[in-house]
Structure 1
Amino acid sequence: MDAGPQKATPETTRMVWIDYARGLGVILVVYGHVLGGLVRPGIFPDGALARWMDYTLYTFHMPLFFFLAGLNVQHSLRKGARPFLESKLWTIAYPYVLWSLIQGGTTMLLARDANIPIYPSDLAAIWFRPIAQFWFLYALMICHLVAVFVPSRAVLVSLAVAGFAVFLMLPIRPDLALTLHHLPFYVAGLYGARSMAEWRPQGWSLLIAIGAAFAVAVALGGHLSGMDANGLASLPACVLGIAGTVLFCRLLDPAHHRWLAAVGIASMTIYVLHILAGSGMRIIMLKAHVPAWPWLYLLAGTAAGVVLPLIAHAALRRLHLLTVFGLAAPGRRKPQPVPIAPRVATSDQAPV
Structure 2
Amino acid sequence: MKVRENWIDWAKSIGIMLVIMGHYGMGDKIYGTFIYAFHMPLFFIVSGYLFTPPPQDNSYKQFVLKNVRSLIVPYFIFGIFSVLASAALNFFSGGDYSVSFFMKSFAGLVLGVGYDTEYTVMNNMPLWFLPAMFFVRVISGFLSRYKSRVKIAVCAAGLIIVVLLHRYCLFLPFSAGSALLALPFFYAGAVAKRYGLLENFRNGEMLRLVVLFAVSAFVLYLSVYLNTGITDINSCKYNNMLLMFTGGISGTSAVFCVCIAFDGIRSKFITAVSDGTLMIMSLHVYGITVVWNFYKMIAGIAGPGGMDAFVSLPAAVVTAMMITAGLYYPIVFCRKRLPLLLGKAGKKPVGKGKTSLPG
Q: Normalization by structure 2: what TM-score?
A: 0.76
Counterpart position of 1:5? none
Q: Does 1:322 align with 2:344?
A: no
Cα 1:350/1:182, change in 2 over 3 Å: closer
Q: Does 1:65 align with 2:43?
A: yes
Counterpart position of 1:204? 206
Counterpart position of 1:167? 162
Counterpart position of 2:223? 221
CA separation in 2, counterparts of 1:237 and 1:115?
Answer: 39
Counterpart position of 1:43? none
Q: Does 1:302 align with 2:346?
A: no
| Structure 1, gaps ≥5 residues long | 1-10, 40-45
Counterpart position of 1:149? 142
Aligned identity (percent) is 19
Cα 1:144/1:249, change in 2 over 3 Å: same
CA separation in 2, counterparts of 1:119 and 1:300?
Answer: 33
CA separation in 2, counterparts of 1:303 and 1:203?
Answer: 31
Contact 1:113 1:283 in 2 (8 A): no
CA shift for structure 1 position 75: 4.8
CA shift for structure 1 position 220: 3.1
**SS of equivalent residue, structure 1 residue 74:** coil
Contact 2:38 2:252 in 1 (8 A): yes
Correspondent of 1:280 among 267, 283, 290:
290
**SS of equivalent residue, structure 2 residue 345:** coil
CA shift for structure 1 position 214: 3.8
Q: CA RMSD in A?
A: 3.2
Q: Does 1:74 align with 2:52?
A: yes
Cα 1:188/1:236, change in 2 over 3 Å: closer
Counterpart position of 2:358? 351
Superposition pairs for residues 122-161 of structure 1, below 5 Å? 122-130=105-113, 131=122, 132-150=125-143, 151-153=145-147, 154-161=149-156
Contact 2:38 2:247 in 1 (8 A): yes
Contact 1:63 1:185 in 2 (8 A): yes
Counterpart position of 2:249? 239
Cα shift readout 1:190-241 (whole Å, capped 9, x = no counterpart): 3442223882321233333333334433443334322233332333222211
Cα shift readout 1:290-313 (whole Å, capped 9, x = no counterpart): 642224753442223211222211
CA separation in 2, counterparts of 1:115 and 1:208?
Answer: 51
Cα shift readout 1:53-108 (whole Å, capped 9, x = no counterpart): 11111111111111111223335546832332222111101011111121232123
CA separation in 1, counterparts of 2:105 and 2:66?
Answer: 27
| Structure 2, gaps ≥5 residues long | 114-121, 232-237
Superposition pairs for residues 84-95 of structure 1, below 5 Å? 84-95=63-74
Superposition pairs for residues 332-347 of structure 1, below 5 Å? 332=348, 335-336=349-350, 344-345=354-355
Counterpart position of 1:105? 84
CA shift for structure 1 position 135: 1.0
Give 1:152's aligned amino acid. Answer: Y
Q: Does 1:266 align with 2:273?
A: no
